[in-house]
Structure 1
Amino acid sequence: MPDELFLWLSHRRHVGRFPNLTDPETFNDFILHRCLNPEPHWSVLADKLAVREFVAERIGEEHLIPLIAVPEVFTEAVFASLPDAFVMKANHGCGYVRIVEDKRRTSFDELNRLAQAWLAEDFSRTNRERHYRPIKPRLYFEQLLVDGAGRIPSDLKMNMFGRDAAGPIIYAGVVSDRFDTPHGDVFDVRWNRLDLAVGHYPRSDVPPAPPPHWDEIVRLATRLVEGLGYVRLDLYVPDGKVYFGELTFTPGAGVFPFHPDRYDYEWGRLFKTMSEADRSTDPNEFQQSSHA
């Protein structure tokens, strides 16, 4: 099925209406347009290994999750060399994450089957997000982030819409207890909670407090994405330390239902009003040798 038709029908099925691909109006419309019309440097910045160089240059290596291994081939020897706890990931899409809190509870064969399934998948075909197509699939292993109490930190998903006269325009989604009883909440840049949930996660009964040093997180996030236009920046903040997760240029692949629906239109208007003058980054900056 042609990409345009696939996305048109997929949007209708998930969001409940047909999208406007010629004159985008909603947030999802704009994301669908991006899926079909990617900018070349997105492929580098969406590559979870290649982007590390960009992050180190923009905000410093201390904000990168430590790498344990990036093997050319996953072997039993590689598995044996891994620590007791780690995270296995693939670089070429979303959802390729396996958390291992105790290596004794898994095996090389189990992880290798999962890894080979990931590496065999052309993620660009899943939701027709074309900028993933040039990325060469790679497997890698990261340090497992935990806070002082041994808990996996919440996902901080920051929708970055540039800035206006009042300052940065940011809507931060917080996914807490992701691997237990997940909840999702969305806050503006002043940490006021919106009547909007993240995906299909219910909102928390008690809103989570802002991360420590929220102003510094906003400063780092703004610096990191300067010149990129709209992007969703994922961070982790265990015990006040700030770690980069990923950059996502087409979050939800244009089929993300908003509840209530009015936010789809409100965020779409932010796309329309973002100043092109802010998009000052030279795309050639990202056309470099990478893992793609």
Structure 2
Amino acid sequence: MTTTNSVQFPGEAGTSVPQQPARLAESTAPVRRQSTLRKLKEAAKSLLPTPVFLSLLHHKEIGRYPNLLRPTTFNEKILQKSLRPDPWFAELTDKLTVREYVARKLGEEHVIPLLAAPEIFTREVFDALPNSFVMKANHGSTYVEVVRDKSTRSFEQLSQLANHWLTLDFYKIAREKHYREIKPRIFFERLLLDNNGQIPADYKLHCFGGRSGKPLIYILVISDRFGADTRGDIYDADWNHLDMAIGAYKPSPKPAPRPENLDAILAAATTLCGDFDYVRVDLYAPDNQIYFGELTFTPGAGVLPFTPDRIDYEWGRLVPDAFLSTRPPLPMHSVSAA
């Protein structure tokens, strides 16, 4: 997946201007003007106060302006969390530092083996990696590069991509405040494959009311994430396929069979969401094993379209209003305790 240096609203494509021969200079003039206009547009966005920026972004993606003072929808309350994140959000959103929390809460065996997390990605680091691996950045979404066969990739290619990721300020995309506290790092994990040699489906479990010990859980299953036929299906905790969609994901023509280890998947999510009123817990479950993916407190940055739209209101009733909450901050060492 490709990212750009420009600050973009979600769903807005970036504009790249490749080098052109001199004889094509005249034909590329409109492209250059477009690039200049985009840079001006992005600069103007960066000057907007955060509430104004988020209101415009919400209107663009959802079709209405949000009520940030008295939020009622799921997206409005996620925007509220972006404006006023809990103090532990950054450490548990960081894809490297969260690993310790998960190991303590769930068990080391459920954390994908870490191959390397170098301060600097060098050729020596590349040479020491196995034939297959996944390269990631810890400070944002979509910074994932799957390498099935290292012989088909060069150090220069991956280094260029890694360096590009490190220049990106994920906060600027949708002003999720806790991302500003994450120091960008590149790291490498073992590539998870099932018995058929395929990348397993991504289970994104939206967990409401985790502090009660009996959370309400909805499961978004993303299949063929890195393929040509990516699908997103939503199930309840009893594996009933729900007639709804989140974001741009299209449902599969036929619902997937109930996973053999569904109870274990739900139990893992229940354990990991126990400190929070809402969190999305991402898991992988190949061949009856369970591996942790990430914790997400502000999914879709609060501009996540639902189909039908009423789900935005229904899920909103499940999330407490952060501005009205009186619960004290929970220090990281308390959150991490097993």
Which has the higher mean CA deviation after the structures are superposed, 128-137 or 207-216?
A: 207-216
Contact residue 82 and residue 298 of structure 2 kept, 8 A: yes
Greater RCO, CA 8 A, separation 6+:
1
User: What is the 5 A alignment of 1:251-262?
Assistant: 251-262=299-310
Equivalence for 2:296: 248
Give SS of 1:119's match: helix
- Show CA shifts across 1:88-145 (max 9, x none): 0011111110000111111111111110111111111111000011111111000000
Contact 1:227 1:280 in 2 (8 A): no
Shift of 1:194: 1.1
Q: Which residue of 2 aligns with 1:154?
A: 201
Task: State the distance in 1 between where 2:293 and 2:182 align.
Answer: 17
Partner residue, 1:214: 262
Q: Are the structure 2 counterparts of residues 281 and 213 from structure 1 closer, same or farther at C-alpha, using a change threshold of 3 Å? A: farther
Would the aligned equivalents of 2:87 and 2:330 in 1 still touch at CA under 8 Å?
no
Amino acid at match of 2:197: G
Please, what TM-score do these two structures have when normalized by structure 2? Answer: 0.80
Letter in 1 for 2:129: L
Q: Which residue of 2 is the match for residue 94 of structure 1? A: 141
Q: Quick check: 1:129 aligned with 2:158?
A: no
1:284/1:97 CA distance change after superposition, 3 Å? closer
* Corresponding residue number in structure 2 for 1:270: 318
Paired AA for residue 142 in structure 1: E
Please give the root-mean-square deviation of Cα atoms over the aligned residues, in Å. Answer: 2.2
Question: Which of 231, 253, 276 pairs up with 1:228?
Answer: 276
Q: How far apart in 1 are the matches of 2:115 and 2:61?
A: 38
Tell whether the 8 Å contact from 1:44 to 1:286 is kept in structure 2 after alignment. no
* Contact 2:210–2:276 under 8 Å retained in 1: no
Tell me if 1:58 matches 2:75. no
Q: Could you tell me how far apart the structure 1 residues matched to 2:330 and 2:281 are?
A: 20
Deviation at 1:242, TM superposition (A): 0.3
Provide the residue aligned with 1:43 in structure 2: 90
Is the contact made by 2:82 and 2:176 (CA closer than 8 Å) also made in structure 1? yes
Q: CA separation of 1:44/1:269 partners in 2, compared to 1, >3 Å: closer, same or farther?
A: same
Greater Rg over alpha carbons, structure:
2
Please list the CA deviations of residues 5-34 of structure 1 after superposition, one character each: whole Å capped at 9, or x if unmatched: 111000000000000100011000001111
Contact 1:234/1:246, CA 8 A, preserved across alignment: yes
- Cα deviation for residue 211 of structure 1 reads 2.2
SS at 2:295's partner residue?
strand
Answer whether contact 2:210 2:273 (CA < 8 A) is retained: no
Of 242-251 and 97-106, deviating more is 97-106
In structure 2, C-alpha distance between the alignment counterparts of 1:136 and 1:163, rounded to whole Å: 28
C-alpha distance in structure 2 between counterparts of 1:54 and 1:210, whole Å: 29
Match of 2:8 in 1: none
Q: CA deviation at 1:64?
A: 0.2
In structure 2, distance between residues paired with 1:287 and 1:221: 15
What whole-Å deviation, never above 9, does each CA across 1:205-231 have from its counterpart, x for those lacking one?
110122222112111211111021100
Report the more deviating stretch, 215-224 or 125-134: 215-224
- Secondary structure at the aligned position of 1:271 is classed as coil
| Partners of 2:246 and 2:305 within 8 A in 1 | no
Please list the CA deviations of residues 148-180 of structure 1 after superposition, one character each: whole Å capped at 9, or x if unmatched.
010000110000002699943001000001122
| More displaced 10-residue stretch of structure 1: 53-62 or 211-220 | 211-220
Contact 1:156–1:174, Cα closer than 8 Å, also in 2: yes
Q: Is the contact made by 1:154 and 1:178 (CA closer than 8 Å) also made in structure 2?
A: yes
Q: Between the two proteins, what is the percent identity of the paired residues?
A: 52
Verify the 8 A CA contact 1:55 1:224 in the aligned structure 2.
yes
Match of residue 202 from structure 1 = 250
SS class of match (2:102): helix
Which residue does the alignment assign to 1:13? Answer: 60
Q: Secondary structure at the match of 1:25?
A: coil
Q: Distance in 2 between matches of 1:287 and 1:135?
A: 18
Q: What residue is the counterpart of 2:192 in the other structure?
A: 145
Is the CA contact (8 Å cut-off) linking 2:208 and 2:318 kept in structure 1?
Answer: yes
- The alignment covers a number of residue pairs equal to 286
CA drift at 1:287: 8.5
**Partners of 1:134 and 1:53 in 2: CA distance:** 18
C-alpha contact (below 8 Å) 1:168/1:189 kept by paired residues: no
Mean Cα displacement is larger for which, 191-200 or 82-91?
191-200
